[in-house]
Amino acid sequence: MAKPRRGESLTVTIDDLAFGGEGVGRVDGYVLFVRGGIPGDRLRVRVTDARARYGRAAIEAIEEPSRDRVQPPCAYFGRCGGCRLQHLAYPAQLAFKEKQVRDCLERLGGLGPFELRPILPAPEPYGYRNKMEFTVAGTSGLPVIGLHEADRYDVVLDIDRCLLQSDTMNALLAEVRREVRARGLSVYDQAAEQRLDAGASRGLLRFVTLREGRRTGEAMVNIVAAAPDVETLGPVAETLRARVPAAASVVLNVNAKQASVAVGQEEHLLVGREHITEFLGGVTFQVSANSFFQTNTVQAERLFGIVAEACGLTGSETVLDLYSGTGAISLLLARRCRWVYGIEVSPAAVADALRNGRANGIENCTFLPGEVRHVLPALLRDGVRAEVVVADPPRAGFHPKALSALAALAPERVVYVSCNPATLARDVGDLGRHGYRVEWVQPVDMFPQTPHIEAVARLRRAG
């Protein structure tokens, strides 16, 4: 295996995709990761990084394109850090994601025979997102409102139109930009914040988050600023609602800390209501500025239908919903079982779940704040038992103590919802050593044009 030199130009054929969406090729046995390469491409590349066992390269020329290569419709493709697979035909995207799930479960999970169901494609490969977060940047000249450049946290692309969001959300983005520039509003400057001179002006605007109820048509604008300047931003909100009547809510979240996050420590209602509404599976949800809600409404409803099927409820069961978030799965299952316990670490999410339960007249849910690894053992000590457990953990998967508590609970069925095939494989492999067998796994494409993939796994306890 000959290691190439940094800066060297080579011809490489791409034969696979890595988990992050980079093309994978080999030159005399040496592995090269090529961003923008797809299986079937023959490329002229320049080596940008050469390590002992692998390197990275940038495309200089496409000598022969893959039959799956398509023209990306977005003007920002390649520069924006968002949609990395727009140049790959959608059927090929689906095949890549299905293969990713299978490879992880077989290679990392060491599973025996199981059914991998065909991936569930999204009916809307574009325009599917109900939430988008844009950064406000530019302390000199005209402010820009957009998304970070690929692999850069210090450069923001001024996005006129994002193809992943609706026309309504794009209209709101354009109006926010127009108002910010017309009124000469200042932009938060983290460098000024870090300077020692207290007189430095740190600016106001930090982020703009847009949300939309796809079933209701209600939209929300959440302006995240460094100060509670309602006097300045109130007229902006009034203009937004006048020009885009779908804007049912415009709120101001205040993040006065240096942490670059689009979440505030306090919230002020500028126009309309403090929330928008959405319908999902016959349940009405109130979605506030900082609520978690699945960002693809159509696919979320289909995903939750798969979860309900996997639970196999008859009406008499007690269900535990681990990592329950704002309670969407709990509330959708509550009408099919005797009782649901939801466990969630975020107090704000628990408050959302309780509010949505009351709004829908659902009384057979108990939502408990805290980490699963602490709350689940406490429930066991209190004598709570469950026939079915649903788990939708974060990308890191289960904490080992939480997985041990789940094994001690010994439910008949476990339904695992995962956004990370690698940690799904690890955790179901561990559950296999506790006597559980994976019956089937259903991949669901929640995020077309990106490498991300969701999957639902149904496990049954042996005996």
Q: Torsion over CA of 397, 425, 132 and 119, rounded to 10 degrees?
A: -150
d(CA 144, CA 187): 9
**From 104, 162, 365, 419, active-site residue:** 419
Q: For residues 320 and 105, give the distance between their C-alpha atoms in angstroms, rounded to a whole number.
A: 24
For the beta carbon of residue 427, count every other beta carbon within 10 angstroms.
25
Scan for tokens 């007189």, then name that residue. 199
Any idea how long the chain is?
A: 463
User: Cα(92)–Cα(85) distance, rounded to whole angstroms?
Assistant: 10
Give φ, ψ of 237 to 5 degrees: -60, -40
For the chain, first and last CA: distance in Å?
Answer: 50
Rounded CA-CA distance 167/186 in Å is 27
Nearest in space to 278 (alpha carbons), one of 219, 212, 352, 213: 213
d(CA 283, CA 306): 16
Q: Is the dihedral of CA 151, 157, 161, 166 positive or negative?
A: positive
**Could you give the CA distance from residue 334 to residue 37 in angstroms, rounded to a whole number?**
46
Output the CA–CA distances (angstroms, integers) from residue 329 to 21, 189, 198, 239, 439, in the order listed: 30, 40, 48, 37, 21
Active site annotation includes 419? yes
Residues identified as active-site = 419
